[in-house]
Structure 1
Amino acid sequence: MKITALETLRIEEFSNVLWVRVHTDAGIIGLGETFYGAGAVEAHIHDTLAARLLGRDPLRIEALNKEMVNLPMAQSSTGAEYRAASAIDLALWDLFGKLCQQPVHQMLGGLCHDKVRVYNTCAGYGYVRSNNIRPVDTWNFSKEGPYEDLKAFMTDAGALAESLLEKGITGMKIWPFDPAAIENNGLFITSEQMKKAVEPFEKIRKAVGDRMEIMVEFHCLWNLPTAKKIAKTLEAYAPTWYEDPIRMNSAQALADYARSTDVWVCASETLGSRWPYKDMLERDATDVVMVDLCWTGGLTEGRKIAALAETYHRPFAPHDCTGPIGFAAAVHASVSQPNTLIQESVRAFYTGWYKELVTAVPRIENGYVYPMEGVGLCVDLLPQVFERPDLHVRRSAL
């Protein structure tokens, strides 16, 4: 079997989502996805990677993954080169599963979990409907459906926690410190800003007590002294973890932060391949290892990062706040890795715009996600995607 064509698809409405379809002479097509800077990723796929991949055996996934990142500009990063490799890698695993008539989680070694607990990242329907994703500027509140959770956590976090618990979801991720970080360039926080940012935590604990776990996302916006100050203030509300409190480019600085608090530190999708994770783990800088398979080298690299985390006795928690194929891939990874703690999800996405684009979304019931059924990644693009007037397609072929 040979790769005969690489095809990329993107739509203007969700301009940061890029899909890749790997075509073969056997008629099997693998589907992958990445997120952010779709145009740059698309260009790298066709201008650089196509020449390396066309005519190759798609089942040599490990070798092809190595080939795609064996570039001077693709070294342990989450840049366009790694995102391109990630999308193609997911497509190769999808293709492998389709050939063997098995779901990807079986190809990864089979189930370790019959179900995995989820938490809800409190984004809303318009959160990714922007060409320029920024932590505050894309708070595009919408009245599209019942789960505008971004606005909810900023205005009535207690009621939001109650709504999630009604669905059996016992964890939620929020980021109320972002406005202050943007306003002050992450250099300091005033007493008034601190009180404002703490309000959602107070409302959650008042409404539901300790029944809800709170994950705190900081989007790498703070300097180290201010991040420590915020961490101490929030300890009174018993959050589950602090995610990306500072830029994830210094294991030493993050280790300093981790020693300053009893709350877990989550080092996350902003890291690239397993090498920066290794640096963080060696310094005891992180407690939870989060990976976005669309950014870090796909399933090939993602499962290595999960195994690396296990050697340091750390839990694995796949990221999802991007597209539907990436979410499906994350679930396959979650259910097949022994140290999976919890799976990120966004109910405004999997009950909303994901269903406009794909044939299936993972089943989430009573706070758990279940293994997907079918072959490959168990999901494909809907026929109407190919008929959209805002669809852009590019193809490189033998």
Structure 2
Amino acid sequence: MKITGIETLSAREFENVLWVRIHTDEGLIGLGETFYGAGAVASHIHDTLAARLLGRDPLRIEAIHKELVNLPMAQSSTGTEYRAASAIDIALWDVWGKASSLPVHQLLGGLCRDKLRVYNTCAGYQYVRNRDIRPVNTWNIGAAGPYEDLQAFTTDAGALAENLLENGINAMKIWPFDPAARETGGVDISSEQLKTALKPFELIRKRVGDRMEIMVEFHSLWNLTTAKRIARALEPYEPTWFEDPIRMNSSQALAEYTRSTHVPVCASETLGSRWAYKEMLDRDAIGVVMVDLCWTGGLTEGRKIAAMAETYHKPFAPHDCIGPVGFAAAVHMSFSQPNTLIQESVRAFYAGWYKELVTEVPVIRDGYVLPMAGPGLGTELQPAVFERTDLVVRRTDV
């Protein structure tokens, strides 16, 4: 089997999402995805990577992956080069699954459990839907629907927690400190700002007590001194983890933060490749290892990071606040790894716009996600996607 064509697709309405389709001479087509900077990633794929892929055996996944992430400009980052390699890698695993008539989680070693607990990231229907994905600016609150959870956590987080529990979901992630970070540049937080940001935690604990786990997302917006102050203020509410409290560019600084609080640090969707994770793990800076497969090297790199995390006795928790193919890939990875703690999900996405774009979305029932069925990733782009008037398609053939 040989790779005969590489196709990239993006829709203006969902302009952060880029799909990659790997065509083969046996008629099999692998589907991959990445997120953010779709135009730059597509250019890198066609201008730089296509010549390295066309005519190759798509089942030589490890060798191809090594070549794509070993280019001089692709060195342990989540930049354009790594996002391109991630999307291609996911597509190659999809090809392998289709060629063998097996789901990707089976190729990764098989199911480690029959169902897996999820937490709900409390985004809304329009969150990160457009090109501007900066925190606060892209909240886009106000879309109609029962799962406008971003508006819900900013107005009555207690009622939202109760609603999630009624639907079997007992863990939620919120980011009420972002507005203050934008106002101060992350260098300081006033007592008034701190009190405002703590309000959702007070409402959750008052309404549902300890029945709800709370993950806190900081989007790497704070300096170390202020992040430590915020951590102390949050500790009485017993959060499950603090996610990306500072920029993930100093293992020493993150280790200092980790030593300052009893709440585990979850990191990080922003780290590229296992090399960056190893440095953080060596410093004992990470309590929960989070990976975004669409940014950090795909399934090939993701399984290595998960395995490495296990050697440090750390749990694994794949990221998902991006597109539907990435979510499917993360679910396959989660089920195949013995140290997976929990899978991120966004009900405004999987019950909303994901269904506009793909044929199958992972089934979430009573707070658990179920394994994907079917060969490969088990999902394809909806036929309607190919008929969109806002679709941008580029293809390079042999």
TM-score by length of 1: 1.00
1:39-90 deviation digits (Å, cap 9, x = unpaired): 0000000000001110000000000001111111100000000000000000
The alignment partner of 1:109 has SS state of coil
* 1:346 matched residue in structure 2: 346
The alignment partner of 1:117 has SS state of strand
The alignment partner of 1:13 has SS state of helix
- Correspondence 1:288 to 2:288: yes
- Correspondence 1:258 to 2:254: no
Q: Distance in 1 between matches of 2:230 and 2:73?
A: 36
1:93-242 matches, within 5 Å, as 93-242=93-242
The alignment partner of 1:96 has SS state of helix
- How far did residue 142 of structure 1 move? 3.0
Question: Contact conserved, 2:124 with 2:143, CA < 8 A, in 1?
Answer: no
- How far did residue 144 of structure 1 move? 2.9
* 1:364 matched residue in structure 2: 364
Structure 1: stretches of 5+ with no match in the other structure:
none
TM-score by length of 2: 1.00
The alignment partner of 1:352 has SS state of helix
- Give the letter for the 2:335 counterpart: V
* 1:69 matched residue in structure 2: 69
Q: Distance in 2 between matches of 1:48 and 1:348?
A: 36
Q: Distance in 1 between matches of 2:102 and 2:242?
A: 37
* Aligned-pair identity (%): 76
- How far did residue 316 of structure 1 move? 0.2
- How far did residue 108 of structure 1 move? 0.5
Q: Distance in 2 between matches of 1:36 and 1:114?
A: 32
- Give the letter for the 2:25 counterpart: D
Q: Distance in 2 between matches of 1:369 and 1:192?
A: 39
The alignment partner of 2:5 has SS state of strand
- Give the letter for the 2:179 counterpart: P
1:122-165 deviation digits (Å, cap 9, x = unpaired): 00000022112101100101333110000110110000000100
* 2:86 matched residue in structure 1: 86
- Give the letter for the 2:122 counterpart: C
1:310-321 matches, within 5 Å, as 310-321=310-321
1:2-41 deviation digits (Å, cap 9, x = unpaired): 0000000000001000000000001000000000000000
Question: Contact conserved, 2:242 with 2:266, CA < 8 A, in 1?
Answer: yes
The alignment partner of 2:13 has SS state of coil
Q: Distance in 2 between matches of 1:255 and 1:111?
A: 33
- Give the letter for the 1:89 counterpart: D
Q: Distance in 2 between matches of 1:260 and 1:326?
A: 34
Q: Distance in 1 between matches of 2:196 and 2:175?
A: 12
- How far did residue 117 of structure 1 move? 0.3
1:346-393 deviation digits (Å, cap 9, x = unpaired): 000000000001000001000000101101000000000000000000
- Give the letter for the 2:45 counterpart: I
1:205-224 deviation digits (Å, cap 9, x = unpaired): 00000000000000000000
* 2:298 matched residue in structure 1: 298
Q: Distance in 2 between matches of 1:223 and 1:359?
A: 42
- Give the letter for the 2:173 counterpart: K
- How far did residue 268 of structure 1 move? 1.1
- Give the letter for the 2:127 counterpart: Y
The alignment partner of 2:396 has SS state of strand
Aligned length: 398
The alignment partner of 1:246 has SS state of coil
Any runs of at least 4 consecutive aligned residues in structure 1 with deviations exceeding 3 A, and if so which? none
The alignment partner of 2:187 has SS state of coil
1:291-347 deviation digits (Å, cap 9, x = unpaired): 000001000000000000000000000000000000000000000000000000000
* 1:271 matched residue in structure 2: 271
Structure 2: stretches of 5+ with no match in the other structure:
none
- Give the letter for the 2:128 counterpart: V
Q: Distance in 2 between matches of 1:145 and 1:176?
A: 21
